[in-house]
Amino acid sequence: MSILSFLHICLVLHISTKISFVDCNMFLFQQNKVNQDSLKLLEKMGGQFPVQCLNEKSNFISLQNLFSSTEFQKENAMMVIQEILQQSFTIFRKIQIQTDWDRSSIAAFQNGLYQQIELLKTWFDGEKKMETTYPQNEDLTRLKVKKYFHVIDTFLEKRQYSRCACEIIREEMRRCFLFIDQLTKRLKKGKQKIEP
């Protein structure tokens, strides 16, 4: 069974590296820039974390912990990045109406994310068409990320997008981007299995 699943991984990797190798490289190269840029913009759009919000409680399980015990394939890592980008883009669409953060920083942040989301769409278009096998635990991994953002969503709604709630999420998003950055760098190094 384990040999079979290993063969399966090899097959998937073989197919994916052969067909969309360069596009994936371009995506990762640009993602690396977007990560750095997003971290700066997240800082810039609202400045320092307000002191009065320090007492507010939030206990999200971090993405790092969420994936700490899992090893996942290249394609699953790409999927995780895609999911995080899409979800954080959507979260910021909701948040920006409620806050007085710097508009142009938010726009630049969203524009960078959106470009990557579109790039990934095209990458997956090529990828899925060629695919003959199903990557392991794909659904499980995707659901994990979706649940994480579902918790964030509920948190914001429960607190009615209060200033502190939004600030806490901005801080949480910074952590997300640090996590994507780790993934991006590992993928860039060409490791076939990702061990966070």
Partner 1 sequence: GQMNLTSPQNVQVDIINTNFTLRWTWNSENDFSVTFSAQYQRLFEDYEEAVIEETDWKEMSGCQNVTVMECDFSSAMTDYLYSYNVRVRAEQGEEKSPWSTTLFFTPYLKAKIGPPGVHLKSINGVVEINISSPEENLSRRMWTSDIIFTYNAVFWENSSNAEPKSRTLERRNKIYDLAPRTTYCLKVQAHITSERKVGSFSPVYCIKTTDKARILAYPINLEIHALNMKFLLTWDNLYDQNVSFTVQQLIGYLMSLPEDYSNNWTTVSGCENITITQCDVSSDIYHLGTYFFRVKAMSGYNKSHWSNEIKVDPCVVNEIGPPNLTVSSSEDSLRIQLIPPGESENKSMSEFYDLSYRVLYWKNSSDAEEKIKEEQQLLFIISDLTPLTWYCLKVQAFSPVYKKNGHFSDAICIKTLNGKDSPLSIFMAFVIAMFASLILASFCIFSIYHISRRIRYTFFPSCKPPSNIEDRFGSGQPFSIPYLSTSEEPTENCCIIESIVIEETNQTDIKEYKHSKQNSRDSGNYSNDDDTSGAKVLEEMLEQEAA
Residues in contact with partner 1 by the rule CB under 8 A? 22, 25-26, 29-30, 33-34, 37, 61, 66, 69, 79, 82, 86-87, 89-90, 93, 107-108, 110-115, 117-118, 120-121, 124-125, 128, 139-140, 142-144, 146-147, 149-150, 153
Contact 15, 131 (CB under 8 A): yes
Instruction: Tell me the closest approach of the beta carbon of residue 115 to partner 1, in angstroms.
Output: 5
Kindly tell me which of 101 and 149 has the beta carbon lying closer to partner 1.
149
| Residue carrying the six token digits 């320092």 | 48
**Taking Cα atoms as reference points, which of 66, 32, 71, 68 lies closest to residue 149?**
66
Q: Which residues contact 9 (CB under 8 A, 6 or more apart)?
A: 73, 136, 192, 193
Instruction: Tell me the closest approach of the beta carbon of residue 185 to partner 1, in angstroms.
Output: 14
Q: Residue 72: beta bridge partners?
A: 194
Instruction: Tell me the closest approach of the beta carbon of residue 148 to partner 1, in angstroms.
Output: 9
Instruction: Tell me the closest approach of the beta carbon of residue 53 to partner 1, in angstroms.
Output: 25
Kindly tell me which of 25 and 52 has the beta carbon lying closer to partner 1.
25
Residue 129 CA to chain centroid, in angstroms? 23
